[in-house]
Amino acid sequence: MADETDCYGDDDLGTALLKMHESCVAPSLDYIDRTGQCIAETGFVVHEMARAYRNTEFDNLGTVQQISELLLSLGLV
């Protein structure tokens, strides 16, 4: 059965490419993993901010409605 590194060949170029591959794969995968985690955390925080903004807006709307009803009941509007 062929090894996945057979594609590089056994000449100097193949050896150099294999060494580059071996030295780059782990840091690249680590970087991708960390980037993915940052994106997930950012998405969570943005979602929480949107939820807080929505709740604040609904609270404000409720307060405005109460004030409007009070003004109407007093005949000021």
pLDDT tens, position by position, 5-61 = 678 888 999 999 999 999 999 999 999 999 999 999 999 999 999 999 999 999 999
Instruction: Report the alpha-carbon angle 54-55-57, nearest 5.
Output: 65
| Global pTM value | 0.60
- Integer angstrom CA distances of residue 11 from 7, 16, 67: 11, 9, 82
The one-letter amino acid code at 12 reads: D
Q: What is the pLDDT of residue 77?
A: 82
Q: What is the pLDDT of residue 4?
A: 65
Q: What is the pLDDT of residue 2?
A: 59
